[in-house]
A and B are shown apart, each in its own frame.
Chain A
Amino acid sequence: MNFSLLARHQRLISLVAACLSLSVSLSFGLGEVKTWTEIAWLDVLGEGSVALLSVVWIVAILASRPPGKVTSALVIGLSCFLFSALLDWFDEFVHFEAAAEGLSIIESMPAAFGMLIMSYALYQWHQEQLALNRQLHRRETGWREHQQIDFITQLYRIDYMRGQIDMQLRTKDGSAFSVLMLDIDNFDAFNRSFGTDEGDRLLREISELMLMNLRNTDLACRYAGDRFILLLPDTDLHQAEELALQIKTAIAHLAFKPAAQATAVYHSLSFAAEMARPNDGVEALIKRVNQRLDNSRYAS
């Protein structure tokens, strides 16, 4: 796990710590510790694990999400729940004098309140997820597999594309779709002149630019090296080639400036398109478009 986000949640972490210390001081300050024989160990185990797991959930949220309204609401809600759970748990260890009897009566109130906040937070989370899904248009279709995301370009890898092409081939209506393969010219030479870190950055920029030129229904993935693959639903060969030309034009105008250099380096693309045929297979289709791209590159 990566805990680098934790450092950015100082306020929320102090809130959780305050919850912990308040519940400890309330219980052990007002109550009187029980003798060993009075303690019901099964209850200790059950209620203790509820408290412990809510701490684990809080840490998981803090470690996975950047600061913001949704994160705060989630953590505040869970902290209230944690507060009640802790009071409940410490109950097993202490007696309360008559004066503090009220404490055990109100101890469940924070949990109910916390659950309300959590429900609000989950609704906000749902809205946020929808917004993120919209941001991911053209990077992903209605299917998520985070293990298949490529580190350099943050596009999906070819494994994901294979699944999506397969799904397209299986759809009963058999609407025509095209597959486009794009390859950056002279990428090796660029890497040699400016280093592979700049090469990686170029790949990232080019994938962004490519996405901008796609329609919302299209999908772009990284094939391998400097080769990208695009899935274009409801598109014939002619439209696909037109789209490829648009991307090619966009990339030809990208004035990429390698680090420590003021002058821009321009890039060109090679591309090939193929349409799915009746009874086509995923591998066969990818192979055809690859072959076509290679033929065009050898020819030039």
Chain B
Amino acid sequence: MKASTRPVASVAYSADDKFIPAHQLAASLIDLAMSRGVDKNRLLRGTRIFYQDIRTGSSQLSAEQLLRLMANAKAQVGGYDCAFQLGRRLFPGNYGAISNALLHCRNMQDVLRLLNVFMAHICPFMQGYTYRDANQYHLVINDALGCGTQWQFIVETYFSAFVAAAKLLLGRRLPFHFDFPFVRPRYIQEYETNLGFRLNFSQPVLRIRFDLEWLKMPFNQQSQSLKWHAVQQLKQQAYPSQGFVAAVRDSLRHKRNQSLQDTAQQFAMSPATFKRKLQQHGVRFQQLQDELGLQQAIYLLQVKKLNNEDSAHVMEFSDIPNFRRAVKRWTGFTPTQLRIG
């Protein structure tokens, strides 16, 4: 498993840090809602966002404010397509350097490398890591900030954006496969029209998969020098690198059983402060540990096809029955079922 190597807990952003330019996601969402007849003042109620600020192009918002705006939009815009339509208009949009860098990538591999470093510039809510099996490339997506009830809205938005962007860059549709932890929604038509028909619901992890051949398929507008220039611009921007929940998850990735005290120490916090901060983001420490265990088990059993003994050993279980029980509890499947499926 290729883990992102950014242990810098000090630059992790919290849900209430204001660093997201208001003229990006917020502006697109406000425009969309207003074009559907939603009242501007009702839409912005409780978000502490001011419409004038968006026009100046210099104001910055916190993820919390955006989440509140999404909740309002979801409630006030009729129909089910709000998130999907928002996603479709995000890229290239008003993202500046990161959009330029992505636009001039050579292929999907290039895109994923860029996103691994600069994800927060375009999608501060998500954290991803990638691996490949014999046939497919996998992108596992986790919540970087504790988005709570807005998580599905965010997934729908950014997945639509990703599919639309891939189509723009490649010049044709790329056949993605999606695994969602949600139950199949009644508005399945939006998923099908915006994401395609390769959809699996009620899955243990949120994942995008595609066949390996697409990884190096050349893009239309590739240009090494333009991309390089955009990346230089990106590097000069003072921008936090990853969300708080994402940072905690990274610090646990290879030491899943590390105690809360030790983790808090890595973040230079007292255990009480650390716990409170996790609570602010709507997650519990144990929950993150279980989630990592689940994802590691899926990787070892489903992707690497390791047997129970080796998997249990890698995951530091003392005996196999314990391992089997834990896997069943996390995923709802036995190790054997996972290996076959």
A294 within 8 A of B: yes
Quick one: closest A residue to B37, CB to CB? A151
Interface size on A, residues (CB 8 A): 23
B21-59 interface code vs A (CB 8 A; 1 in, 0 out): 000000000011001110000000000000000000000
B81 within 8 A of A: yes
Q: Name the one of A197, A224, A291 contacting B190, with C-beta atoms under 8 angstroms.
A: A224
A151-174 interface code vs B (CB 8 A; 1 in, 0 out): 110000111000000000000000
Question: Which residues of B line the A interface, CB within 8 A?
Answer: 31-32, 35-37, 78-79, 81, 84-85, 88-89, 164, 167-168, 173, 186-187, 189-190, 192-194, 196-197
A234 within 8 A of B: no
Question: Which residues of A line the B interface, CB within 8 A?
Answer: 150-152, 157-159, 188, 191-192, 196-197, 200, 223-227, 286, 290-291, 294, 297-298
Given A151-B79, A188-B167, A224-B84, are A200 and B35 neighbors across the interface (CB < 8 Å)?
A: yes
A102 to B131, CA, bound (A): 94
Given A224-B193, A291-B197, are A157 and B79 neighbors across the interface (CB < 8 Å)?
A: yes
Given A151-B37, A188-B164, A224-B84, are A294 and B197 neighbors across the interface (CB < 8 Å)?
A: yes
Given A224-B84, A225-B194, are A151 and B78 neighbors across the interface (CB < 8 Å)?
A: yes
Pair A191/B89 contact, Cβ less than 8 Å: yes
Point out the residues of chain B lying under 8 angstroms from A224, CB to CB. 81, 84, 187, 189-190, 192-194
A158 to B185, CA, bound (A): 13
How many residue pairs bridge A and B at CB < 8 Å?
Answer: 53
Point out the residues of chain A lying under 8 angstroms from B194, CB to CB. 224-225
CB proximity of B96 to chain A, nearest CB, Å = 17
Point out the residues of chain B lying under 8 angstroms from A227, CB to CB. 189, 193
Quick one: closest B residue to A158, CB to CB? B189
Point out the residues of chain A lying under 8 angstroms from B196, CB to CB. 294
Pair B88/A191 contact, Cβ less than 8 Å: yes
Cβ contacts A to B, 26 pairs, < 8 Å: A151-B37, A152-B36, A157-B79, A159-B186, A188-B164, A191-B89, A196-B32, A196-B35, A196-B89, A200-B35, A223-B189, A224-B81, A224-B84, A224-B190, A224-B192, A224-B193, A225-B81, A225-B85, A225-B88, A225-B190, A225-B193, A226-B193, A227-B189, A286-B189, A290-B197, A294-B196
CB proximity of A61 to chain B, nearest CB, Å = 23
Pair B168/A188 contact, Cβ less than 8 Å: yes
Given A157-B79, A197-B35, are A225 and B168 neighbors across the interface (CB < 8 Å)?
A: no
Given A151-B79, A158-B189, A188-B167, are A225 and B84 neighbors across the interface (CB < 8 Å)?
A: yes
A191 to B89, CA, bound (A): 8
A186 to B130, CA, bound (A): 31
A226 to B31, CA, bound (A): 19
A291 to B196, CA, bound (A): 10
Point out the residues of chain A lying under 8 angstroms from B78, CB to CB. 150-151
Point out the residues of chain B lying under 8 angstroms from A294, CB to CB. 196-197
A197 to B1, CA, bound (A): 44
Interface centre among B32, B89, B167 (most CB of A within 10 A): B89
Point out the residues of chain A lying under 8 angstroms from B88, CB to CB. 188, 191, 225
A223 to B193, CA, bound (A): 9
Point out the residues of chain B lying under 8 angstroms from A291, CB to CB. 197
CB proximity of B269 to chain A, nearest CB, Å = 44
Supply 18 further A-B pairs (C-beta < 8 A) apart from A196-B89, A286-B189. Answer: A150-B78, A151-B78, A188-B164, A188-B167, A188-B168, A191-B88, A196-B31, A196-B32, A196-B35, A200-B35, A224-B190, A224-B194, A225-B84, A225-B85, A226-B193, A227-B189, A291-B197, A297-B173
